[in-house]
Structure 1
Amino acid sequence: MSESELFMVHKGVFLTTLVHPAESLKYYEDFTFRPDDILIVTYPKSGTTWMQEIVPLVVSEGDLTPVLTVPNWDRVPWLEEHRAILLSLEQRASPRIFATHFHHQMMNPSYFKIKPRVLYVMRNPKDVFISSYHFHEMASFLVSPGTQDEFMEKFLDGTIMFGSWFDHVKSWLNAGEQEHILYLCYEDMISDLKASVEKIATFLGKSLSSEVVEKIADHCVFKNMKQNKMSNYSLVPEEFMDQKKSEFLRKGIVGDWKNHFSTAQEQKFNAVYQEKMKDVKFSFPWD
């Protein structure tokens, strides 16, 4: 399919038509949040699947049942995707856990009125780029990425699914309701997952024993989570995701971009990053 057939523009951002049909976007726009809802917000390929594993385990206080028996897209559904309509989310018991890749300004009126709890995860955009490149190669509902240079142009311009990484991160860092948001970095989670689990638990009002924190962290180490068929996307038909081309859960490491970037690509990326992020005060672990 052509780019014009695969993509649409919603609130100024590219979305995929197959995953985000008009009726799904209308459902999200009309969706009513609750104050105790938990919303995982990420730019794609920034640790979403990881958080869909960790957060239910924090809420269940270490009971593995939900993450071993329910696919992650139903366990923690994306509100903007087509499956949300099918899941009777209005009937789910609190606390409900959702995910979204929307920019802050794309959130619906109920979000701004209710201000549910948000876990916002950021990742080094160079690693996001490499992960996104491989994802575009294996996902049939996305445009072929072309060469790495061609895809870098689109990534830096924001003319890919969910738009600009820079705009996404800045929109959430500048959110007015920051007392309801916990900011997390993928790199910090890699370096000390137990500390991140404890931070998430505290934010969600959960008092977990050290044994439960250890259990959650051990289950959610990348190599262990990768074996969970409810989370590794092995249940998705090959015509949608061809994991022979690239695994969905590929490496889960920090700094893989160094194995892929040429010197020229690194210089180009750095120049755009420095210009677009020059006014951002947040201290990122990759800076």
Structure 2
Amino acid sequence: MISPQDVLRKNLKMVHSYPITYAFANNLEKCEQFHSRPDDIVIATYPKSGTTWLSEIADMVLNDGDVEKCKRDFITVKVPMLEMAVPGLRTSVAYGSWFNHVKSWWKKKEEHPILFLHYEDMKENPKQEIKKITRFLEKNLNDKILDDIIYHTSFEMMKNNPLVNYTHLSNTVLNHSKSPFMRKGTTGDWKNYFTVAQNEKFDAIYKKEMSGSALQFRTEI
């Protein structure tokens, strides 16, 4: 049996040319044998891009905004994830290129029904974006239910909700005293960390990587 400490000490493992956390790579065979159903809903996000937020919103939409029903279990049970435990990053970045991730999913929209959502749009106008989600999931919810979903999935509510803030995980997996899972829930915080030179370098890389793609992002509201 593999302990959480063993998982945390493991190096990233290269899988199909991508550096993957040991916990994911160790169960890769089961993942590759998984067969989805026609009615499965997949939330595909790069880590720390609002995954838990969108997962809880989707669960509430599918359950017609029923708060009590959405309290039935932890978010990790309601919406199973492939991301299990992240060891300290070393020479490689887990999960591969963010640019490759977003551009590859953007291309897939030509073949599959995919709804693209942006974190900044969600923060700026959650009701408008949640309406997009309800239409995509073929639900018809009134304004009262939409307002309830907005309230119960606000950052402040989720940060204090033990069913979604990951405090149910042991400190060996996620030490909240060092870095809580729910951090700030803001946009544009990069300005508090990037120097002018770093921002110019990032802008140059972004322009090069996203050239030729109609998919564009904004980094603040």
Distance, in Å, in 2 between the alignment partners of 1:252 and 1:2 is 28
Structure 1 unaligned regions, length at least 5: 83-138, 146-153
Q: CA-to-partner distance for each residue in 1:210-249, whole Å, 9 max, x for gaps?
A: 1111111111111111111011011111111111111110
1:278 is the counterpart of 2:211: yes
- The equivalent of 1:143 in structure 2 is 88
Question: Is the Cα contact below 8 Å between 1:2 and 1:143 reproduced in 2?
Answer: no
- The equivalent of 2:195 in structure 1 is 262
1:25 is the counterpart of 2:28: yes
1:245 is the counterpart of 2:178: yes
Question: Is the Cα contact below 8 Å between 1:188 and 1:285 reproduced in 2?
Answer: no
Question: Is the Cα contact below 8 Å between 2:19 and 2:93 reproduced in 1?
Answer: yes
1:233 is the counterpart of 2:166: yes
Q: Please give the TM-score of this superposition, normalised by the length of structure 1.
A: 0.70
Q: CA-to-partner distance for each residue in 1:48-81, whole Å, 9 max, x for gaps?
A: 0101110000000011234323111111011x35
- The equivalent of 1:46 in structure 2 is 49
1:71-82 pair list within 5 angstroms:
71-78=74-81, 80-81=82-83
TM superposition shift of 1:11: 1.6
TM superposition shift of 1:6: 2.2
2:17 alignment partner AA: G
Greater share of strand residues, 1 or 2?
Answer: 1
% identity of equivalent residues: 37
Question: Is the Cα contact below 8 Å between 2:14 and 2:20 reproduced in 1?
Answer: yes
1:6 is the counterpart of 2:16: no
TM superposition shift of 1:285: 3.4
Question: Is the Cα contact below 8 Å between 1:62 and 1:215 reproduced in 2?
Answer: yes
Q: Given the superposition, is the C-alpha separation of residues 178 and 256 from structure 1 closer, same or farther in structure 2, using an over 3 Å criterion?
A: farther
1:247 alignment partner AA: P
Q: Given the superposition, is the C-alpha separation of residues 160 and 144 from structure 1 closer, same or farther in structure 2, using an over 3 Å criterion?
A: closer
1:31 alignment partner AA: F
Greater share of helix residues, 1 or 2?
Answer: 1
TM superposition shift of 1:31: 1.1
Q: Given the superposition, is the C-alpha separation of residues 285 and 231 from structure 1 closer, same or farther in structure 2, using an over 3 Å criterion?
A: same
1:205 alignment partner AA: E
1:187-206 pair list within 5 angstroms:
187-206=120-139
1:120-131 pair list within 5 angstroms:
none
- The equivalent of 2:70 in structure 1 is 67
TM superposition shift of 1:197: 1.1
1:224 is the counterpart of 2:157: yes
Distance, in Å, in 2 between the alignment partners of 1:266 and 1:173 is 25
Distance, in Å, in 2 between the alignment partners of 1:239 and 1:32 is 32
- The equivalent of 1:111 in structure 2 is none
Question: Is the Cα contact below 8 Å between 1:15 and 1:162 reproduced in 2?
Answer: yes
Distance, in Å, in 2 between the alignment partners of 1:176 and 1:58 is 22
- The equivalent of 2:3 in structure 1 is none
Q: Please give the TM-score of this superposition, normalised by the length of structure 2.
A: 0.89
TM superposition shift of 1:261: 0.8
Distance, in Å, in 2 between the alignment partners of 1:81 and 1:2 is 13
Distance, in Å, in 2 between the alignment partners of 1:16 and 1:264 is 31
TM superposition shift of 1:185: 0.4
Q: Given the superposition, is the C-alpha separation of residues 61 and 241 from structure 1 closer, same or farther in structure 2, using an over 3 Å criterion?
A: same
Q: Given the superposition, is the C-alpha separation of residues 222 and 4 from structure 1 closer, same or farther in structure 2, using an over 3 Å criterion?
A: closer
Question: Is the Cα contact below 8 Å between 2:71 and 2:163 reproduced in 1?
Answer: yes
Moved over 4 A (4+): 1-4, 176-179
